[in-house]
Amino acid sequence: MADLIELSEKLSAIRQEIKNEIAGIENSKAVYEYRKSIMDSKTGKIGSLMREMGKIPNEMKAEYGKKVNEIKVWAQEQFDELDTKLKEAEMRLRYETEKIDITLPAKMRPKGNLHPNTQVRNQIVDIFGSMGFQIYEGNEIETDYYNFTALNTPDDHPARDMQDTFYLSPEFLLRTQTSAGQIHVMEAQKPPIKIISPGKVFRSDDDATHSPMFSQMEGLVVDKGITLCDLQGMLNVFVQKIFGEDTRTRLRPSYFPFTEPSVEVDVSCFQCHGAGCKLCKGTGWIEVLGAGVVNKKVLEGCGIDSNEYSGIAFGIGIERIAMLKYGINNIKLLFESDLRVLDQIDD
Ligand code: PHE
């Protein structure tokens, strides 16, 4: 029994030591470390007591085990209690120091937005993209052949006067129309073809509604049995998405060398709904784009059999759509980068 008395004394000493020690502990990290030095099964003062079991005479083993267990449970409780207390205090301190003053006015960050031309271009791309059109990016510098000749506009053709061209050399020019891309596409690809081609075009022209550089969106569909009805169907979807569900289109005869028949497409006035207003000059209709059935000569020139295939094409002026849609009366406002104007347009 002498051994058990000795053990009791040893345990009381450990108990006292733990009480003294934890009274001075101030943070949870120190609790963790001290707990380890006591409870570790190999090196800890209490943890290692169980390893002594082998040396204890058999008849005392049960009592020994009980006592060691008691102090183990007790110590565990002491550490847990202290740990919870300190962790709570540490958390409170953290909350205190990390407090945010929600009454402070927020820092204003100026928000940018896409340029109206880009917004309109993206909208048009989305609309035709949803109808299965693919995007073709043409060249801004073109040859006379692609911009004119292949589009049924030979040298002496009067239609060349419709567009004042910037020539770079007798052969090269800044494209006057994205229609030049039609030829590249039809040369490279056999029908079915269904593309849109956005890009900059250039003409020596300058007034409130014309700029020497502006943007167009070409559309081209070539397949078996394509007619003017397909064109109007697609353009109806386009104007309804851009100008409102209740808008309609109207086709008027026009002339382009590369389409036959050619049409000028009007949209019903989305401001007065046909009653007549300043925007539609009292007519109830606004001209929005040029289009037509692809001229057979153009198809044949690109090696497409015009008896088997037919096509439609259209050319949308992106600035014109942006001006109509956002009520901008001078095209220059779209090129001057005045934030007071641009900030107002964010669709
Ligand atoms: N390229 C013509 C223009 O710029 C528009 C157009 C495109 C007309 C396609 C018919 C077909 O005026």
CATH for 264: 3.30.930.10
Domain closes at, from 49, 65, 97: 97
Ligand 1 mean position, distance from CA 283 (Å): 23
Ligand 1 atom closest to the Cα of residue 162 is: 12
The total of structural domains in the chain comes to 2
Q: Give yes or no: residues 79 and 131 share one domain.
A: no
Tell me what the mean pLDDT of segment 122-147 comes to: 97
- 103 found inside a domain: no
72 CA to middle of ligand 1, Å?
91
- Do 144 and 55 share a structural domain? no
What is the CA(270)–ligand 1 centre distance, in A? 23
For residues 121 and 256, membership in a common domain is answered with: yes
**Together in a domain, 131 and 74:** no
State how far the Cα of 71 lies from the Cα of 46, in Å rounded to an integer: 8
* Residue at 107 is within a domain: no
Q: What is the mean pLDDT of the chain?
A: 92
Residues 173 and 277 in one domain: yes
Q: What is the pTM of this model?
A: 0.70
| Residues with a CB atom less than 6 Å from ligand 1 | 177, 179, 256, 259, 290-292, 313-315
Residue nearest to atom 4 of ligand 1 (CA): 177
Ligand 1, atom 10: closest residue by C-alpha: 291
For ligand 1, the distance from its centroid to the CA atom of residue 344, given in whole angstroms, is 30
Look at residue 104 and tell me if it is in a domain: no
- Helical packing angle, 116-130 and 228-243, nearest 10°: 130
Which H, E and C letters describe the chain, residue by residue?
CHHHHHHHHHHHHHHHHHHHHHHCCCCHHHHHHHHHHHHCCCCCCCHHHHHHHHHCCHHHHHHHHHHHHHHHHHHHHHHHHHHHHHHHHHHHHHHHHCCCCCCCCCCCCCCCCCCHHHHHHHHHHHHHHHCCCEECCCCCEEEHHHHCHHHCCCCCCHHHHHCCCCECCCCEEECCCCCHHHHHHHHHCCCCEEEEEEEEEECCCCECCECCEEEEEEEEEEECCCCHHHHHHHHHHHHHHHHCCCCCEEEEEEEECCEEEEEEEEEECCCCCCCCCCCCCCCCEEEEEEEEEECHHHHHHCCCCCCCCEEEEEEEEHHHHHHHHHCCCCHHHHCCCCHHHHCCCCC
Judged against a pLDDT cut of 70, whether residue 315 lies above it is answered with yes
In a domain, 347, yes or no: no
- Residue predicted with more confidence, 296 or 343: 296
Gap from CA of 12 to ligand 1 centroid (Å): 101
Looking at the structure, tell me whether residues 8 and 131 fall in a common domain.
Answer: no
Q: In terms of residue numbers, what domain contains 79? A: 2-97
Report CA(326)–ligand 1 centroid distance (Å): 23
346 falls in which pLDDT band (50, 70, 90)? confident
* Cα 315 to middle of ligand 1, angstroms: 4
Q: Are residues 308 and 249 in the same domain?
A: yes
Binned at pLDDT 50, 70 and 90, residue 2 comes out as low
Residue 189: predicted pLDDT: 94
CA dihedral of 30, 35, 40, 46, whole degrees rounded to 10: 140
Q: What is the pLDDT of residue 162?
A: 66
Atom 6 of ligand 1: nearest residue by CA position: 315
Residue of 179, 216, 263 to test ligand 1 pocket, by largest number of atoms within 8 Å of CB:
179
Shared-domain flag, residues 190 and 48 = no
| Residue 230 shares a structural domain with residue 282 | yes
Token pair listed for 157: 């053709």
pLDDT at 6 over 90: no
- Atom number in ligand 1 closest to CA 289: 5
- On the question of pLDDT at 268 being above 80, the answer is yes
User: How many Å lie between the centroid of ligand 1 and the Cα of residue 183?
Assistant: 13
pLDDT tens-digit map of 176-203:
999 999 999 999 999 999 999 999 999 9
Same domain for 123 and 93: no
Between 133 and 10, the more confident residue is: 133
Q: CB of 118 within 8 A of CB of 211?
A: no
Does the pLDDT value for residue 3 go beyond 80? Answer: no
Domain C-terminal end among 45, 66, 97? 97
Q: What percent of the chain has pLDDT over 70?
A: 98
Is 6 within a domain? yes
| 106 is a domain residue | no
Same domain (yes/no): 207, 301: yes
Nearest-CA residue for atom 2 of ligand 1: 315
Q: Which residue has the tokens 């301190």?
A: 93
109, part of any domain = no
Tell the residue nearest (CA) to atom 7 of ligand 1: 315
Model pLDDT for residues 151-181, shown as the tens digit of each residue: 999 888 877 776 689 999 999 999 999 999 9
> Is residue 323 one of the residues assigned to a domain?
yes
Pocket test residue of 177, 228, 235 for ligand 1, highest count of atoms within 8 A of CB: 177
Q: What is the mean pLDDT of residues 217-245?
A: 97
Query: What number does the ligand 1 atom closest to the CA of 294 have?
Result: 11
Tokens of 255: 């002339």
Ligand 1 mean position, distance from CA 347 (Å): 27
Ligand 1 atom at minimum distance from 179 CA = 1
The per-residue pLDDT for 192 is: 98
CA of 316 to the centre of ligand 1 (A): 8
Q: Answer yes or no: do 131 and 84 share one domain.
A: no
Domain boundary among 39, 67, 97: 97
